[in-house]
Amino acid sequence: MTAHSPYVRWFNELRLADVPEVGGKNASLGELYSALAKEGIRVPNGFALTAQAYREALTAAHAWHELRVLLTGFDHRDVTMLAERARKARAVVYRATGNTGLREHIRAAYHALEREYGRNVAVAVRSSATAEDLPTASFAGQHESYLNVRGQAAVVEACRQCFASIFTDRAIVYRIDNGFDHFKVALSVGVMKMVRSDRAASGVIFTLDTESGFRDVVFITGSYGLGEDIVQGNVDPDEFYVHKPTFRAGHRAVLSRALGGKEMQLVFARGRGDKRTRNRPTGPAQRSRFCLTDPEVLELADYAIRIEDHYSHLAGHPTPMDIEWAKDGEDGRLYIVQARPETVASQRTADSFETFALEGEGKVLVSGRAVGEKIAAGTVRVIADKAGLAAFRPGEVLVAETTTPDWEPVMKTAGAIVTDRGGRTCHAAIVARELGVPAVVGADGATTALKTGAAVTVNCAEGEVGRVYDGKLPFTATRVPLGTVPRPKTHIMVNLGNPELAFHTAMLPNDGVGLARMEFIIEEHIGVHPMALAAPDKVASAKERRAIVRLTRNYARPADFFVERLAEGVGTIAAAFWPKPVIVRLSDFKTNEYANLLGGAGFEPKEANPMLGFRGAARYAHPAYAAGFALECAALRRVRDDIGLTNLKIMVPFCRRVAEGKAVIAEMAKHGLVRGKNGLEIYVMCEIPNNVIAIDQFAELFDGFSIGSNDLTQLTLGVDRDSAIVAFDFDERDPGMLQMLRLAVEGARRNRRHVGICGEAPANYPEIARFLAHLGIDSISVNPASLLRTMTVVHDAEEAAAKARAAE
């Protein structure tokens, strides 16, 4: 390395405290290289040109007055004037930084890098502002970067272009909007050895969930080639989650995976000149498989957790991180190439909770990945390129193939954003999240299907999938101050089936999950009958067999597809609420519902009354479904044993007789789910009158009961809950039903077993919630939308009961 210079600082000389000298990005690289590289976290070497070099170059060129004239007293919202002033300002800086002394410093430092990595080594040249990567301002994408730069002359030129990019249109607007003085912010330039991810893969890591702000996961995105395609939204990347608490406890397992389209990859261009990189299409074989193996995901998660711990220690408080990674195609190793504090999701206040709900129905025009958990309605404006931005009006729905940092002044005024391409860490998603604007990214065909002037509703409030509806549909937005929600002694839990809503829901006040519906995960995330995967050769339809082969092509056995996808869905819910209890109900489809799954028709009998037929506990040990049940057990065992989510409890539905319960428990034990082992508790649904009548005997087999008020009401009153003509007779408030609820609660308490209710009766009828609270039920589980209201009702009931006892 060269001797210490006021203009050049090597990464091993830098720490976070050097932000005033080299900017946030370079100071962070120095911190990574100096403090963490020796602990096994790989960081490429490099050097920084200091802010002093920038300032002294402008002073020597007498450039400050000219810049002040250009950047003072104009309307930055005038896009044309902004572009002209910014162009002239960049030219001033470019000329000033071309002096002989600075050129020699750059050449000497690059030559030292050549001695370490080889002659003509390729480098990345990146800008680093002295106000950059602060907890309150990201400056993401405001300044320029140049990749695959080789040779002394090219490196000098790239550094000058980086210095000049302090006055890009977008950087000027960003500083004005965020209250930064143009002349108090200086630019440093980082020069770092390129990682050959053009021959492998790269991506972004967040040490929280970017949508909900949930902090107990590492969220990793990745695609083939250089990482700019992910940031710019040119590709739909692969996504992975790892659960931090169980990882820290020694469990090494990926929580969930989502295969992205990875439509193209950014690679080095051949030859010389300004075109240093180019995009090429990704082949079908690469697109159909993940860009990272599970061990690589876990290695990156380990890096991310250690980086977060290090930065949190330095800051004195938890500091979620935004990290860039790259895999070198030549040595096969993973590298960290940037780390900064995350500045959007981690900054949200937790003093209130806002929920959105669509009230109307409409035609879905396009769908993609949801960003923002909100709903907005407005008029479409399709923008083909930067030139079209002048026509955009505030409040319109911005629709584009993708977005770039140059578009940000207009994006700030959009009611919603929709893009053809991109994943949840692309430019459009990052900006929309920072602005609090709902966005649907990766909505293939949006620029064709959505027409300028058309009214649409953008819905990002229903999980991972965002939808754009035709017309302006009614919706509600509710903000609840969390400090005003009373917490009753009775545990108030949630019913949940959709893993995509788990992180968001877990941040509401709650006492865990009283009912995790396995059938939702099977239907929405698997779509294939378990027996068709356990015995694919028995699927009669050739068309369905081909469809199953396509779905399971990346798995050693079709059954592995079912086990992995079910474990991911259940595991995500258990991870979201860890360490609170999560009670998952074994599959409770009726035969007609099972038959509708891919490959299912040939495995299911045709029944006149499926509601009372081959369902629930009757299936699990039966030869007609035993192989499918083995797959359910394998998935649950993976969640508890491999991922380490021992807060997961298992519940058996529709168990008619005690003997049937014994058979199911024995079948579960045969597949490694032994009651009591590793703290496993097995519950049973209390939804058949016989469960209440024989509750003492059932209590000998099971650790707890969950009252299913829908089926229990149906079977107690003899009313088909699906028949409109007798619907008036279906009423959980009937005196006979209240007596049945009383017997169930008292019987469970008599046997010292947990008892809860997971039907919607307490949410629909506050008087039932009060009745159950008076009985001393342990938990009431309702849908998320009813959670806060139920807490209030039960708290008031407990207060009233306490006053009544005191009066006695």
Q: Which residues are catalytic?
A: 427, 758
What is the pairing mode between strands 682-686 and 704-707?
Answer: parallel
Bond before 579 cis per omega within 30 degrees: yes
Map tokens 């439509």 to a residue. 263
Residue 336: C-alpha distances to residues 107, 209, 234, 293, 744 (Å): 25, 19, 22, 17, 57
| Coil/strand/helix, residue 808 | coil
Distance CA 78, CA 654 (A): 67
Strand stretches in 589-703, DSSP E: 648-652, 682-686
Cα–Cα distance, 164 to 142 (Å, whole number):
12
Which is nearest to 242 in space by CA: 615, 689, 643? Answer: 643
CB atoms within 10 A of CB 680: 21
CA distances from 299 to 378, 525, 642 (A): 44, 27, 17
Tell me, what DSSP letter sits at residue 522? I
Query: What is the enclosing helix (H) or strand (E) of 691?
Result: helix 689-693
- Residue 636 token pair: 């649950």
- Could you say which DSSP state residue 668 is in? H
Do β-strands 754-757 and 704-707 pair in parallel, antiparallel, or remain unpaired? parallel
Residue 222 amino acid letter: G
Give the separation between CA 758 and CA 64, rounded to whole angstroms.
Answer: 69
Cβ burial of 136 (10 Å; 0-12, 13-18, 19+) is exposed
Alpha-carbon distance of 252 to 273, in angstroms, equals 46
**Helix, strand or coil, per DSSP, at residue 496:** strand
Task: Report the C-alpha gap between 109 and 1 in whole angstroms.
Answer: 7
- Whether the CB-CB separation of 597 and 529 falls below 8 Å is answered with yes
Structure tokens at 423: 């994943």
Q: Quote the CA–CA distance of 241 and 301 in Å, as a whole number.
A: 9
> Would you call 790 helix, strand, or coil by DSSP?
helix
51 within 8 A of 130, measured Cβ to Cβ: yes
CB 198 within 8 A of CB 329: yes
Strand 475-481 with 491-496, pairing: unpaired
Sign of torsion over alpha carbons 525, 531, 533, 539: negative
CA 799 to chain centre: 39
Q: Which amino acid is at 431?
A: V
Burial class (CB in 10 A: 0-12, 13-18, 19+), 202: buried
